[in-house]
A and B are shown apart, each in its own frame.
Chain A
Amino acid sequence: MNEAVYAVFGIPFLSALLLALIPSYRLTALGNVLASGLTFAAGLSFLTLPPVTETYVILDDLNKFFIILNTLVGFTTSLFSRSYIGHEIATGHLTPLFVRFYHAMFQGMMGAMNLALLANNIGLMWVGLEFATLMTVIMVGIYRTPAALEAAWKYFILGIVGISLAFFGTILVYLAGQGVLGEGEAAMTWSELIKIAPQLDAPLLNIAFIFLLVGYGTKVGLAPLHAWLPDAHAEGPTPISAVLSGLLLNVALFALLRFKMLIAANPNALAPGPILITMGLVSLIFAAFMLYQRQDIKRLFAYSSIEHMGLITFAFGLGGPLLNFAALLHMVMHSLTKSAIFFAVGHVTQAKGTQELSAIRGLSVSNPVLAFALAAGVIAISGLPPFGAFMSEFLIITATFAREPLLALAVAFGLLIALGALLMRLQDILFGEPTTPNHPVSAASAPIFVHLSLILIAGMFLPPAIVVWFRRAAEMLG
């Protein structure tokens, strides 16, 4: 049954080719949903698969859950995207000509992300991430406004710089591997590298890790390298903001984690932990303060993504089974919650005809369903009970407190600052005199409520099977 492994990136790539040939917007939107649904089905079938290790693909407990999450969010986003883009075309914000290849690129991006997650070859992993980045660059610029072009160009340049440095790092890892495994494929194969990690040349690994950290760290949006992220989120179409925040950041962090495991397994190499802790904490606190000054609703949640990626990176940096477990859990919760928020935000901005926070008021009166969804999402992402993110954040703080009380204080401080900003903004959005104009939107509420109920269930009861599985993945991370 290894076909499912190839199907997860094969289906999207094939459908990308097919969708590129169909000119009708309605047909491609349906095709996009269908292809994403099939990919999700293939992803779900991984639950029954034993671990797979082949030359080019690998399936273990760690990437299995990333892929299921990826295909699920890809599927729900395709549903949301169908109603979102439909509305944009109906209102004339986008013309069918502009979105001619939108769905093909969406599938291309999903396929590339799944390939990056599954790749056993560190070169292929890089190619997957680069390809996914390039697809999102085009989609960010799809509105062709000056602001969208500026955002896309900045994203392009910074993304390219990051990805080039990451490739150099990849070559250095290959060189280190070559010293032990000899020339050829084996020295680029992750499953071979991790076996002989303790014998790898430590100085070479150290330099490689720095390149990889700066390279993939740019894509994760860690603090000094985050400049592209808010603009790309704000200026692109909202379905793309949802997959950027919910998925692409995760995939980049996953790539970084693979290399972190490699470095950590080598006793002579530098400890990756403190670097990740510092970058994570800086991102968390910086983004928390930035939340207060935002005037654009999508930029607000983009900064919130930086904050959460910082928190996750921090937890992985500190490491240990408990914190790795909490970080993995938080990744899932953040993906599901943040994409649900962006789904809601997408419809809110369509209803209000603007992304300006000051022009979005009284949502609870004008659009009660969207208001409810947005409120639930913001409460969840702020880490308040009863949602899943409360549990993962609580776990991160308590586990950190047991080991490094001072760091736990810093994390709690950052989270509280962010909580204040988000709740303040939420209150402004929900209450008060409703602002005009109010355009009717036929919101696709199913994707939003599927995500919200998943995080609600996770917040109250995590099935033991999932706990066991996450624990195994957390142990892999060391």
Chain B
Amino acid sequence: MTNAYDVAHFLAGMMLVCSFTLLYQDRILAVLNTFAVQAIMLSLAVAWQGYVRNAPDLFITAAMAFGLKGIIIPVALNRMVEKLGIKRGVDQVVNVGVAMFLGLGLTSLALLLVLKVTPGAASFTREGLALALAIILLGLLQMILRRNAVTQIVGFMSIENGLILAATGARGMPLVVEVSVAFSVLIALFVFAVFLFRIRERFDSVDVESLDKVRAARAHR
């Protein structure tokens, strides 16, 4: 069993590494690739869970993660970026050092919190959950730090990766929930695409700075 834990921890750990990379990576293409790697790590982690626990329904979840988030979504986003001619550089609000430091802080917070409140749970569930929470918090941080609509949405998708990791880490979560979650992610992506085109059409840019100007203009209404 210890080997099983090692592999599971390795895969979840790799996802966390991807989350950190997403924090500082400043080119859109690289951000999309990193996200694809994270999604593939997620699908491997889920498949490994399915194999170890002998739960075949997890393979469906893994296949969905691999197909949708590992391939289709990154490719679709990639084409969207090309079609819209979005500039390749991504500006950062705070510098890399500060972002890493905040990320480390959030990760240790997640570990301390989850490990403290779940002494009763099975040992893998605890650590999987802690890593998942860290990934979720890093995704939130990415959404706050980034000013570009595409990278904000990648932040959201990596939050969703963390949620799926948490859901499969909790043993025996019903498949119907996972399927509906995957479905709603798809809808969310559609919503995002609609907005990306509309924002682009209005502002000639997908930099959310241009939205901030609208916000400032009506701050006191």
Could you give, for residues 146-176 of chain A, a 1 whenever the CB lies within 8 Å of some chain B CB and a 0 otherwise? 1101101110110011001101100100110
Q: Measured between alpha carbons, how far is A103 from B176 in the docked complex, in Å?
A: 27
B17 / chain A contacts, CB cutoff of 8 Å? none
Asked whether B208 lies within 8 Å of A207 as measured between CB atoms, the reply is no
Asked whether B143 lies within 8 Å of A157 as measured between CB atoms, the reply is yes
Interface centre among A130, A156, A160 (most CB of B within 10 A): A160
Q: Measured between alpha carbons, how far is A137 from B170 in the docked complex, in Å?
A: 31
A131 / chain B contacts, CB cutoff of 8 Å? 184, 187
Q: Measured between alpha carbons, how far is A285 from B182 in the docked complex, in Å?
A: 40
Could you give, for residues 132-147 of chain B, a 1 whenever the CB lies within 8 Å of some chain A CB and a 0 otherwise? 1100100110010000
Residue A295 CB within 8 A of the other chain: yes
Q: Measured between alpha carbons, how far is A149 from B160 in the docked complex, in Å?
A: 24
B211 to chain A, nearest CB (A): 4
Which of B7-15, B42-50, B116-124 is found at the contact surface with chain A?
B116-124
Q: Among the listed A153, A179, A184, which residue makes an inter-chain contact with B211, where contact means beta carbons less than 8 Å apart?
A: A153
Residue B166 CB within 8 A of the other chain: yes
Q: Measured between alpha carbons, how far is A299 from B188 in the docked complex, in Å?
A: 26
Residue A127 CB within 8 A of the other chain: yes
Q: Among the listed B177, B180, B188, which residue makes an inter-chain contact with A188, where contact means beta carbons less than 8 Å apart?
A: B177
Residue B31 CB within 8 A of the other chain: no
B113 / chain A contacts, CB cutoff of 8 Å? 207
Could you give, for residues 164-186 of chain B, a 1 whenever the CB lies within 8 Å of some chain A CB and a 0 otherwise? 00110011111011001100100
Asked whether B143 lies within 8 Å of A188 as measured between CB atoms, the reply is no
State how many residues of chain A have any CB contact under 8 Å with chain B: 50
B180 / chain A contacts, CB cutoff of 8 Å? 123-124, 127
Asked whether A161 lies within 8 Å of B174 as measured between CB atoms, the reply is no
A137 with B191, Cβ < 8 A, contacts A149-B211, A175-B118 known: yes
Q: Measured between alpha carbons, how far is A203 from B218 in the docked complex, in Å?
A: 43
Which of B20-28, B97-105, B195-203 is found at the contact surface with chain A?
B195-203
Q: Measured between alpha carbons, how far is A290 from B184 in the docked complex, in Å?
A: 35
Could you give, for residues 28-70 of chain B, a 1 whenever the CB lies within 8 Å of some chain A CB and a 0 otherwise? 0000000000000000000000000000000000000000000
A288 to chain B, nearest CB (A): 18
Asked whether A174 lies within 8 Å of B117 as measured between CB atoms, the reply is no
Q: Measured between alpha carbons, how far is A118 from B195 in the docked complex, in Å?
A: 31
A56 / chain B contacts, CB cutoff of 8 Å? 176
A123 / chain B contacts, CB cutoff of 8 Å? 173-174, 176-177, 180-181
Asked whether B184 lies within 8 Å of A183 as measured between CB atoms, the reply is no
- Closest chain A residue to B143, Cβ basis: A157
B139 / chain A contacts, CB cutoff of 8 Å? 164
| Interface hits, A221-238 → B, CB 8 Å | 234
Asked whether A174 lies within 8 Å of B170 as measured between CB atoms, the reply is yes
Q: Measured between alpha carbons, how far is A144 from B203 in the docked complex, in Å?
A: 11
Residue B152 CB within 8 A of the other chain: yes
Asked whether A144 lies within 8 Å of B202 as measured between CB atoms, the reply is yes
Q: Among the listed A156, A164, A203, A299, which residue makes an inter-chain contact with B159, where contact means beta carbons less than 8 Å apart?
A: A164
B175 to chain A, nearest CB (A): 10
B125 / chain A contacts, CB cutoff of 8 Å? 175
Residue A201 CB within 8 A of the other chain: yes
A161 / chain B contacts, CB cutoff of 8 Å? 140, 143, 159
Residue B194 CB within 8 A of the other chain: yes
Where the two chains meet, the residues of B that have a C-beta atom closer than 8 Å to any C-beta of A are 113, 116-118, 120-121, 125, 129, 132-133, 136, 139-140, 143, 149, 152, 156, 159-160, 163, 166-167, 170-174, 176-177, 180-181, 184, 187-188, 191-192, 194-195, 198-199, 201-203, 208, 211, 214-215, 218, 220-221
Q: A144-B201, A294-B221 are known contacts; what are 11 more A-B pairs with Cβ within 8 Å?
A: A124-B180, A127-B177, A127-B184, A146-B211, A153-B211, A164-B139, A164-B159, A164-B163, A171-B167, A204-B118, A204-B120
What are 17 A-B residue pairs whose CB atoms fall within 8 Å in the complex?
Answer: A123-B177, A124-B176, A127-B181, A134-B184, A138-B194, A141-B195, A150-B211, A157-B143, A164-B139, A168-B136, A171-B163, A171-B167, A175-B170, A178-B171, A203-B116, A294-B221, A295-B221
Return the 8 tightest CB-CB contacts between A and B, nearest first: A183-B172, A123-B177, A203-B117, A127-B180, A150-B214, A150-B211, A184-B172, A146-B214
